[in-house]
């Protein structure tokens, strides 16, 4: 009886070893979902970690896990570390190693107990909508002992079932999040987050309807008064004029027509006031072309901020880099800034 048990164990071990030699050393898991939003919106959601708690299937499962962000806000080098319940999300980190705008984001992952792996998001533009694919690849035997690698190969047979279901949940969450955002394609938008420096300005508080003719006339009158005051008091120009929007509605705008100057001690007259331009974190985009064609740029900027988890502050402003008296309309360059609300983003 003992010999039979012994031989059975030996046979089982031999069988286990033989099977392990033909089992795959690597594992690949992949799931896809169609999203009714442009590729630019989907890319923004997966190209960083600011919104990961909104869509991650593991974040809701382990709500007490601690997440730490480091590196840039998005793109290559953006890093997330997590420390949660070992039975749920565990402990580890992931970092973006490749970022191709609107088509691919690749990450390296390190799990405290299971070792290294790679994951990726592949985005296919479907002309107004997109297909998002989430994939996972791992070498089951890398950095493992011989016995550990064999055991890992057996567990590899279950990876598609284990991870695939979580990926399906995560993709459904990303789809819902993306489709809650503005349906505007902002690919090609020249946008960046900047720390705007304050400038000394002379300005006139104004208001106008949304009629372009009314707005242009109000701005021209205000700039004329400011430039005349500058000439009378020998005040030097420091930069091109600005328009600082303080409030707006369907009925019109409340704004400051402003000119950056080299400030000096003078007595202000008429409607002119002195102060500083808005400063601090802001998203800046470059609009190229006539002033009356800025609305699509504003719509793209608003969609860009929403997709990147950046909340709009109370102030926006335009800085007219080109001199309209010397530059053809199609070549005009305007910097448009949206202030970022200080508590926006983050985990």
Q: What is the pLDDT of residue 84?
A: 87
DSSP string over 21-74: HHS-SEEEEEEEEEESS-HHHHHHHHSBSTTHHHH-HHHHHSTT-EEEEES-SB
- 202 backbone φψ class: left, alpha, beta (φ>0; ψ -120 to 50): beta
* Residue pLDDT, tens place only, 47-97: 999 889 899 998 888 888 899 999 999 999 999 999 988 877 788 999 999
Q: What is the pLDDT of residue 28?
A: 84
Using CA atoms, how far apart are residues 202 and 277, in angstroms rounded to an integer?
9
Phi/psi of residue 67, nearest 5 degrees:
-115, 140
Q: What is the pLDDT of residue 85?
A: 86
Q: Spell out the alpha helix ranges (H) of the chain.
A: 2-22, 39-46, 52-55, 57-61, 146-156, 159-179, 212-232, 295-307
**C-alpha distances out from residue 254 to 144, 198, 207, 314, Å:** 66, 20, 4, 12
Using CA atoms, how far apart are residues 150 and 105, in angstroms rounded to an integer?
31
Across the strands, what pairs with 109? 94, 117
Using CA atoms, how far apart are residues 283 and 293, in angstroms rounded to an integer?
19
Q: What is the pLDDT of residue 22?
A: 46
Closest by Cα among 166, 181, 179 to 60: 166
**Quick check: helix, strand or coil at residue 129?**
coil
Using CA atoms, how far apart are residues 306 and 75, in angstroms rounded to an integer?
17
Q: What is the pLDDT of residue 25?
A: 59
Cβ contact 60:320 at 8 Å: no
**C-alpha distances out from residue 3 to 7, 9, 15, 60, 303, Å:** 6, 10, 18, 52, 74
Q: What is the pLDDT of residue 5?
A: 42
Q: Give 188's contacts (C-beta < 8 A, 6+ positions apart).
A: none
Cβ contact 179:36 at 8 Å: yes
Sign of torsion over alpha carbons 17, 19, 25, 29: negative
Cα 224 versus chain centre, distance = 40
Closest by Cα among 139, 136, 94 to 112: 94
Closest by Cα among 4, 34, 24, 339 to 193: 339
Q: What is the pLDDT of residue 195?
A: 95
pTM for the structure as a whole: 0.82
Cβ contact 126:37 at 8 Å: no
Which residues of the chain, if any, have pLDDT below 50?
A: 3-24, 145-158, 344-345
Closest by Cα among 175, 192, 147 to 32: 175
Across the strands, what pairs with 117? 109
Q: What is the pLDDT of residue 21?
A: 46
Q: What is the pLDDT of residue 179?
A: 97
């Amino acid at each position: 009886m003992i010999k039979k048990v012994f031989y059975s164990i030996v046979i089982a071990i031999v069988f286990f070893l033989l099977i392990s030699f033909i089992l795959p050393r690597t594992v690949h898991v992949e799931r896809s979902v169609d999203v009714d939003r442009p590729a630019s919106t989907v890319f923004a959601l997966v190209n960083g970690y600011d919104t990961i708690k909104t869509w991650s299937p593991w974040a809701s499962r382990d709500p007490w896990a601690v997440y730490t962000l480091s590196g840039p806000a998005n793109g290559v080098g953006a890093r997330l570390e997590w420390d949660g319940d070992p039975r749920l999300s565990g402990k580890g980190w992931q970092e973006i190693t490749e970022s191709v705008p609107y088509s691919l984001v690749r990450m390296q992952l390190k799990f405290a107990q299971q070792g290294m792996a790679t994951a990726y998001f592949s985005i296919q533009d479907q002309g107004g909508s997109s297909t998002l694919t989430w994939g996972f690849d791992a070498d089951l035997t890398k950095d493992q002992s011989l016995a550990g690698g064999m055991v890992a190969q057996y567990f590899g047979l279950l990876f598609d079932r284990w991870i695939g279901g979580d990926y399906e949940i995560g993709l459904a969450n990303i789809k819902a999040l993306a489709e809650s955002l503005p349906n505007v394609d902002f690919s090609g938008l020249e946008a960046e987050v900047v720390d705007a420096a304050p400038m000394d300005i002379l300005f006139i508080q104004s208001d106008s309807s949304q009629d372009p003719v009314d707005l242009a006339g109000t701005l021209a009158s205000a700039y004329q008064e400011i430039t005349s005051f500058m000439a009378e008091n020998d005040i030097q120009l420091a930069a091109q004029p600005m328009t600082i929007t303080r409030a707006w509605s369907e009925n019109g705008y409340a704004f400051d027509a402003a000119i950056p100057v080299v400030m000096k001690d003078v007595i202000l007259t008429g409607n002119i006031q002195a102060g500083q331009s808005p400063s601090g974190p802001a998203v800046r985009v470059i609009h190229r072309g006539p002033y009356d064609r800025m609305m699509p740029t504003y719509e793209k900027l608003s969609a860009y901020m929403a997709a990147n988890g950046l909340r709009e502050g109370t102030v926006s402003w335009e800085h007219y880099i080109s001199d309209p008296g010397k530059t053809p309309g199609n070549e005009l360059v305007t910097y448009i800034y949206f202030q970022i609300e200080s508590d926006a983003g983050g985990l």
